[in-house]
Amino acid sequence: MVSWLNVWIMVALLVPVLLSLTNPRGESQTQTQTQTHPKPHSQKQTQTQTLHLPPSLISSSSNLFFNERIRDGSNLDYDFYRDTCPQAEDTIRSAVTRIFFDHRDSAPAILRLFFHDCFIQGCDASVLLDDSNGNKNHSIEKQAIPNQTLRGFDKIDLIKEEVEQACPGVVSCADILAVAARDFVLLAGGPFYPVLTGRRDSNQSFYDEANDQIPRPDDNVNRTLRLFSLRGFNERETVSLLGGHNIGKIGCEFIQQRLYNFQGTGQPDPTIPVDFLGQMRLNCPENNNTSSTNEVSAFEVSQKENSHSEAGMSYMQALSSSMSSGGAFDTHYFQSLLKGRGLLYADQQLMSHVKTARLVSAYASDDGSTFRMDFARVMLKMSNLDVLTGLQGQVRLNCSQGVSS
Ligand code: HEM
């Protein structure tokens, strides 16, 4: 009875997501082609640009012994733990709800953590791993430069502990992170999207890939688009994913160079409107160390500053400079970009490419529903990225520690 109810709820929730396959305003490209991209650092894979209803919703998964990461999530399942841990998703949801109402800033923290996990070798919880061999070289993914300001690891540990109490050794950290990210997004005012389960945890950590492949705040639009396209995201999907910057905070170290020493010129980024520059400078006063550091990327600066949780560079400001009109996941991020008021250089760069600029305008020009539909769809797609399933990987007992075989 309960499981039929779940199926009906699932169908009801999927319909709007599937309806969102219609193009948003300003986007003319058809989305139905299938493309083959080289997968960075590993095998070649066929990936589809279309959101398909995963076959696993219709029949059970068939790729369990396939020794390859599957990009489109077709080997994941709806309610994978229905027999082994039927309360898994409810346990995650109630832990997330409690954490959210105690610490609202957990929602953006976990969304970013999830993005950084999925972007590097897929959604496999590799970013959560600590070094278990006492290695002092920090060659684990968590210590890679772009990951040094990630937050929320303790929240995932808390959720995992509760899930472990209910069903020891059953539910993977990768699934917990994927479901928790969805639940946090929803609580933060974002759209619902279905999350399939059955991911397994990686027993590897990808330090070099994280340093090389996570987009940087000072990247131009071409590099950003290229990095996303290597993972099968087209321009429209990339722009909607960046709408994740509707929520959360940014440390000043990521915009110092734009404000005071853009590309080593000793001057601010000339494209920043004067009034906005003044406002940002008030929020982020000049930091001598940073402004004199020519040609050092913002991520390297952040490493020197040892993250904004420490003394020094402590001011945080909202990632999107416009005020939200209520629900956080609306059009305010895109409206900021239209006015030239993006905080990160990489965000504002979306306006310097014809196609991405058109998408920004399209998302900014309605009540937010086009963006929300697209964001739901692309989050579902990202959640399925290059997952491990079946006999691949492992299920960790503690998200920061691999299980030795
Ligand atoms: C070009 C791509 C991207 C770049 C360069 C980028 C860069 C950044 C930077 C520098 C911060 C500030 C971190 C800090 O101060 O601690 C940040 C925060 C954040 N990013 Fe991104 N990001 C990108 C894409 C994304 C995507 C695709 C998502 C999610 C779908 C995302 C979600 C977030 C969130 C939610 C925060 C706020 C985190 C918090 O408040 O703790 N970002 N990002």
Q: What is the pLDDT of residues 280-292, one digit of tens each?
A: 999 899 874 443 3
With a cut of 60, say whether residue 4 has pLDDT above it.
no
* 45 DSSP β-pair partners: 37
- CA of 340 relative to ligand 1 center, distance in Å: 18
With beta carbons less than 8 A apart as the criterion, state whether 378 and 233 touch.
yes
What is the C-alpha radius of gyration for the chain, rounded to an integer number of angstroms?
21
Gap between the Cα atoms of 179 and 223, Å rounded: 29
Query: DSSP string covering 120-188, please?
Result: TTSSSSGGGPPPTT--TT--SGGGSGGGTT---HHHHHHHHHHHHHHSTTTS-HHHHHHHHHHHHHHHT
**Closest approach atom of ligand 1 to CA 119:** 27
Annotated binding residue at 141? yes
- Say whether 201 counts as a known binding-site residue: no
Residues identified as active-site: 116
pLDDT of residue 69: 77
* 46-60, 83-97, 281-295: the lowest-pLDDT one: 46-60
Annotated ligand binding at 368? The verdict is: no
Output 309 or 166, whichever has higher pLDDT: 166
Helices and strands counted in the chain (H then E): 16, 4
Mutate to test the pocket of ligand 1, among 123, 236, 245, 309 (most ligand atoms within 8 A of CB): 245
Ligand 1 atom 8: residue of nearest CA:
217
Residues with Cβ within 6 A of ligand 1?
A: 105, 108-109, 111-112, 115, 149, 151, 215-217, 219, 224, 241-242, 244-245, 247-251, 254, 319, 344, 346
Q: Which domains does the chain have, with CATH numbers?
A: 240-381 (1.10.420.10)
Number of Cβ within a 10 Å radius of residue 274: 8
Mean pLDDT of the chain: 80
Reported as a pLDDT band with limits 50, 70 and 90, residue 11 is low
How confident is residue 136, by pLDDT bands cut at 50, 70 and 90?
Answer: low
Task: Quote the pLDDT of residue 74.
Answer: 77
pLDDT digits (tens, 9 = 90+) for 314-372: 346 666 665 444 447 889 999 999 999 999 999 999 999 999 999 999 999 999 999 99
pTM for the model stands at 0.83
CA dihedral 354, 355, 359, 362 (to 10 degrees): 60
How remote is the CA of residue 112 from the centroid of ligand 1, in Å? 6
Percent of the chain with pLDDT over 90: 67
Q: Does residue 162 have a known ligand-binding role?
A: no
CA distances from 402 to 25, 152, 173, 190 (A): 46, 19, 11, 32
